[in-house]
Every structure is written in structure tokens, then in C-alpha cells.
Structure 1
Amino acid sequence: MSIPQPERLHLDSDEATGYPNSPLPVLIYRQVLDIRNAEERANTFESMFKQHGWPPAWRYHLYDFDHFHSTAHEVLGIFRGQARARLGGPNGQELMLYPGDVLVLPAGVGHASLEADDDFCMVGAYPPGQKPEIERGDPAQLAAAHARVAAVDLPENAPVGGSLTPLWGEDS
């Protein structure tokens, strides 16, 4: 299987809402898996993420409130249903998520579901040793959130394969 090239989405810090976001881009991989069966798609995402050093942590939907994780990078593999999501916090950008898509969210990037199919579900994973805390934007805590985001180690591999360095390196 060839490694697809992701779309890159840069999201600036939002001082008004307290969402740190990240200097690293969100990576949006479209149609990584062309598997019709949702359970098989979920199992394949879990195997793929684990193989590339991102152990699967859960199967669930996307919360319907803006939140971020300042202590962990996150990968989301959509295996069932579709959703309209927002990235970057309350003032962020909207995008559609479909089965087979993968989002790689750098630590600090706000995300929320705005509308989703009843059966929408994803596989979520994090690099080893990274534990996500669910945080909401707080302008008074933005500097502390930025410091936590900056301290999160960058994983070597992308969860779909290949090196993250050219995607999240100094030129990202």
C-alpha cells in the first residue's frame, strides 16, 4: 500500500478563545482505506496505527464541543459514518470527514463535531507515553497551554506510515 500525501491545514493560536492550536499543520489523509466493511476498516486502522508506533486507544465518536489536548498528539481514523467537524476551536475551520479518512492532530489543536451521522465512529490513537487531557479554551491559561504543547515530543513516524519529519519538520 502506498502512503498517500496529506492535505495540510495550518491553524493559528486563537487568543480570544484560548485555543493554542499548533505551529505544526493538521494532516488530513483522504480515503486511506478503501474497505467497505466498517468493522474490517476499524481493525485495519488499529493495525496500521499500531504498526507505525501509535497504539490504538479507543473507538468512539467525536465530542460535540470544542476541546484540545495540550499533552498529546492524536490520530483519528474514521471507520463508519460521516461528520462535519470544526478544527481550531470556536473560530476554526469546518471540514467533512468520511469513512477511510485519517486526521493527525498536533497537540493543542481544537476539534469538535458540529453534525454527524448517528453511527459515526472513529479509532483514536496516541504516541506511546502521551496521555491526552480534555481541555477547553481559556484565554487566561493560553500561555500555559502553549508551554505544554511545545513540550510534547514529536513521534518519528506518521500513523499511516512514513516519516513525520518532512510533514512536521522545520519547513512545515
Structure 2
Amino acid sequence: MTTAVDCLPQARKPHTVRFKDDGLIPNHPRWPFVIYRNAVDLSDDHDPAAVMEDLFEANGWGDTWRDGIYDYVHYHSRIHEVLGIARGGRVRFGGNKGRIFTLKAGDVVILPAGTGHQCLSVDENFLVVGAYPPAGTYDECTKVEDRPRALKTIPKVPVPRNDPVYGKSGPLAKPWKKQK
């Protein structure tokens, strides 16, 4: 059965970026950060945040939230995260030596466990919808003291069953192949 939310994703090739461990932020040792530019059609009179929430939840990514992104660098060592951009801003991914992206409404970024992220600048309307796959536990790492445990837990976070935008057959499976 096709729902209204199924019609909103637009086919996009994933753009991937691998970030190196910078001494504070480990980033993921195998899987890249993924960005889908303009992946969700927000041109109609839909509430952009509600569209992102419904889309992520329809694809098995839950515990959704609406807010901005912290203005300090942090990462999650026991869970992956998806960020759907309802209204844009500039965000650095990968830690202090990472890369800055200007994100626009309809963009979606998928962060494998360990990927640093930090909001750098926004206008007053910046709005992000975040969600998590069912496997994993939320945590927030910000200090060098978090690294020893994070280096052990990050590689153990399993590949999500579904792409948060495109579902079971989505392109996330290719860059995040299971490694033996």
C-alpha cells in the first residue's frame, strides 16, 4: 500500500564522505557519512518537520525529535543518526578537522556511529528532525575521556535494516556493507 509519505522522497544518489579519526572525534572506521541532497519534496503545503518525521518512522527509524543541532562538537558511539533538514543552516561534520556543509530544506544526512557534528551558523528558523534506527542506544560523547569506550562500541553498532528515506531497498546498504 502506497501512502502520501511514499510519494515525497525523490530518487537521489548518496554522496558519501569518509572522515578520519582526529584524536577527539573517532568517526566511523568503515562507514561513510551519507548525504542526500534535496531528497524530500517539501514544495507543497506540508509541514516539513512532520514530513520528515513520518518518512523516518515509516522506514523504521524512530525516537524522532525536532530541534537544532548542538553548537559544540559531539558524536554518538552506540547508535547511528539521521538528520532531516526542515529549514537549513551550516553544520560541520567529522569534528574540528571535518567538513562544513550548508544544508537546505529537503536534505537528509545519515551519520554512522562516531561521526562528529556541530552547528556553526543558522538563521532563526533552522529546524532539524532527527531519528534513530531501532538497534542501538543513544549516548552523547564530547570529551577525550569518552574515546576508549567509544572505540570499542562504534564498530559493534549494526547496519540498519532500512534506509531512513528509501526503505529496505534504499541506497544506504551499498556504502554501509556488512564487513566480515
> Is the TM value for this pair above 0.5?
yes
Contact 1:49 1:56 in 2 (8 A): no
Q: Is the 8 A contact 1:46 1:56 kept in 2?
A: no
Mean Cα deviation higher: 23-32 or 124-133: 124-133
1:131 is aligned to 137
Deviates more, 1:109-118 or 1:40-49: 40-49
Amino acid at match of 1:118: E
- Aligned partners of 1:76 and 1:104 also within 8 Å: yes
Q: Residue 21 of structure 2 corresponds to which residue in structure 1?
A: 13
TM-score normalized with structure 2 length: 0.85
- Structure 1 counterpart SS, 2:124: coil
Q: Deviations over 1:115-138 (max 9, x none)?
A: 111110111000114232111141
* Structure 2 residues not aligned, in runs of 5+: 1-6
Q: Is 1:89 paired with 2:95?
A: yes
Q: Among the aligned pairs, what percent are the same residue?
A: 36
Partner of residue 67, structure 2: 60
CA contact under 8 A between 1:85 and 1:114: conserved in structure 2?
yes
The answer (yes or no) to whether the contact 2:135–2:160 under 8 Å persists in 1 is no
RMSD: 1.9
Kindly provide the CA deviation profile for residues 27-48 of structure 1, in whole angstroms up to 9, marking residues without a partner as x.
Answer: 1000112223686221111111
What secondary structure is seen at the aligned counterpart in 1 of 2:52? helix
Kept after mapping to 2: 8 A contact 1:86/1:92: yes
Superposed displacement of residue 170, structure 1? 5.3
Over residues 27-74 of structure 1, what are the superposed CA-to-partner deviations in whole Å (9 max), with x where a residue is unaligned?
A: 100011222368622111111111111014200001110000001100
Cα distance in 2 between the residues matched to 1:130 and 1:144: 15
Against the structure 1 CA distance between its residues 158 and 125, is the aligned structure 2 distance closer, same or farther, given a 3 Å change threshold?
Answer: same
Aligned-pair CA distance for 1:141: 4.3
Aligned length: 167
1:104 aligns to what? Answer: 110
Contact (CA 8 Å) 1:71, 1:131: kept in 2 or not? Answer: yes
1:152 aligns with 2:152: no
Cα distance in 2, alignment partners of residues 108 and 13 from structure 1: 9
Mapped partners of 1:36, 1:165: distance in 2:
28
Q: Is the 8 A contact 1:38 1:79 kept in 2?
A: no
2:51 maps to: 44
Partners of 1:38 and 1:71 in 2: CA distance = 36
TM-score (norm 1): 0.89
State the alpha-carbon separation in 2 of the partners of residues 111 and 37 from structure 1.
30
